[in-house]
Structure 1
Amino acid sequence: MTATVARPALAAYAAARAPLFAPPAALLLTVMMLSRPQLSALAVGAMVLGLMAVSGPGSGSLCLVPVGLLGAVQTGGPVPALGGIAAVTVAAVLSSRPVRTPVVGTTGPRIYDAPHRWIAVLAVLLLVSFFFPAERSDPSSIPDIIGLFAGLVLLSATTASPPSPGGVARVTAVAGSLASAYVLVVGDHADGRLDGLGLNPNYLGAMLVLPLVAAVGLTRRTRRTGWLVPAAICGAGIVATQSRGAFLASVAGIAVVLLQGRSLTTKALSVVVMAGAGAVLPGIFGAAEHFVTGRRPAAQLTNNNDAREHAARFAADVAVAHPLRGIGYGLFPSHAAKSPGLGLYIATHDDYLRLAAESGVMSLVVFLALLWLGVRGRRPDDLAVLRAVVIAYAAGLFFANQLANLVVSMPFWLSLGCLLASPPRSPFDRIGSSRGEQET
């Protein structure tokens, strides 16, 4: 009995004094990453495990966003992020306890295990397409499949032990704005477009979309205009990348922030106003594109559009030809280069088409099911902010192959995990809960 009481007391004592160790721990981690980048994964794993020992895997996973960005600054790769994900997953597995699903109509915790089933099915489909593709001409891309699998592992762990939704939104906004400020100061410019953190301009723009949407969402959620500062910093970074996909994804995310929770009439009226503006002022979209693309030559934009259109059509043809196993994850560029139908080494620039072509149509269907489970229904408070972040990321997947890049996708996996862990209640759930409360 004494030992049982002592353990919670010891955990509470350690948790209360954990902030005292944060500054020296952060200093030690920074020194190690600056002096020995190759040991960054070990350092990150030790630090995250130490934090989770006193605060749990849910709180520890909040470290992954800044750790991933800091690792990208020092190593230009996802090694620190992989170390942190491994630590979070181990802690989530060790802290999990089997709980039976209660009968409908009674109070108590409910277990929503449908997301984990979908995650497992997607993982199996990816493994099958990786080891047994319908057509293989080159070795599979191991870094890409590792990045995507790590994201799915993090999604599973976050769904089982979700962090605070508000914490995810705040960490995403702050860490992203710091990364944007860093890149704006020390980043390089390729043909006038900003790049940095080991990311090309399109990927960098995609990475900055999520903190921008999170900051705008926090501004509306808390009614504190101070959150517009990180939003402005991220917006400046997106403009400097001149990425059209990042701009459109930002517009989609901000629109969700402003419109979710509104009446259906308000949403319909907003769509009508936007469509009317485009019809009455046809040059407004051209002006917006010119603002985003800056001084990029018109011929370059046209060539990019043509190449992407041809790649998209070829990817659709490949998906139709190999709907079950695909051609192997990461093999589309080499497959396209050797094909007489395209003859160009180019990615799909669309992660939905990439999943369908490289891993089979069923992989795409399962991924879309996960997205739907996360964004369906209304979400209250901070979950509404994360819903906008996920939708913005989902919009960005139409323009870049960012799903396997952990530096870009880390906030997405955390946000989707929080949403999957707190699904919207159906009317039946509400009736059952009310009956249970009355009977109690």
Structure 2
Amino acid sequence: MSWAADAAAAWQRHLEQARWFSGKGRSARVSALTALDWYTPAGSWPAVRSELATVSYPDGPDEVFQLLVGYVRPGTADVPAPLGRVRLDDLGEVEFFDATEDGGSLTALVDALLTSPPPGMRWLEPSAVDPGARMRRYRGEQSNTTVVLGDGALLKLFRKLEPGANLDAEVLERLPGEITPRLFGVLRADDYDLGMFYQRITGITDGWVFATSAAAATSSFAEASADLGHALAVLHDELASAFGTAERSGDELAEVMLDRYQVAAEAVPELAVHAPAVTEVFDRLRGQRLTTQRVHGDFHLGQALHRPAADGQSPWVIIDFEGEPLKSLAERREFDTPVRDVAGALRSLDYARSAAADPDSSAALGWTAEATGAFLDGYGRHRPVQPAILQAYLLDKAIYEVVYEVRNRPGWAHIPLRAVQDELVRAQGGPTIRPKEF
């Protein structure tokens, strides 16, 4: 049998356990493996390369995933359990494993990319990456794999691949790096971006952890929320400067949102009863001309890192510009109004109060109201937001969340369902938990 046939079954078993593999539960099958050129020099161990796994499904198109593979002589692997054993023409009989699980393989990879970079390795700031740094895989990520390279740098390996530039690398390269990490280099092969080296921000707290801790303690989040709103406004200015702006018809946007709602209502019947009120909210977009631009596209508290205040330094760093993972690369690159990101932040603040002992208590509702008002103040001082546009995006986002939660976390579905109802009550001039200026 060929190397690919021998290895495919082992990788298929591995993929079903990998957090970053998005094809779980879909009868996925590794139908092809394509080996790229070796990163490491001939004759050195471990030998490391990327391999592209084509994954086929009975219910949809094929997808391509990157495997970073380490090879060693049989019996010499440092990982607890190699995935299998194969014979390669240039190495002989070897054992193979996921190289991100092995510090020696990661060190060999980074050293090779710095000292003998392949044609697809484009360095912007190679001196920022230390090949002698301690390297470890970050365990908290799901859709990609991030490797920590000491205190100064990170290597993000893109797992699910699409032809063209990766959005995260594309955006970071065009921004000044004041409220976003600096980009150090991009690894590319064939038609795909495979990974990027970028700045590691130390001394930070994940925004979701920061906010939920405050909500659980009923501690004011107003100052931090206002700072986050301001940081997002600055980011939108930077994106507009880097990628330009355009216009979109409010009529077109209303139709898109209504179409999404109708699909969602078919999937979740509890949404169908709100059709007249939902239509009224989206119809308020009609007749408007909306300014569009590149946006974050999947903004929430987990996409922001908080750090202690310092002179001239933003207390927030915004990360992860790949957009909503269920959309295609072309869809994620499309311009949208910046209000989409604002709505994402506000919906995330609403989710954060779930950390309170009683999320429906007046204290928890007041916490969200204060944080929401502060965020809108921080953003609006720099970039005013029209209430009708924000309300349409908040409703659209909450409807999307209902479908997601019903399919993935049914125990959380009540949060966006309640938000849909709240937005529709507010649209009719009913009581609101948000400040009057909202």
Identify the structure with bigger relative contact order (alpha carbons < 8 Å, sequence gap 6+). Answer: 1
TM-score, length-scaled by structure 2: 0.28
Task: Looking at secondary structure, tell me which structure has more strand per residue.
Answer: 2
Task: Looking at secondary structure, tell me which structure has more helix per residue.
Answer: 1
TM-score, length-scaled by structure 1: 0.28
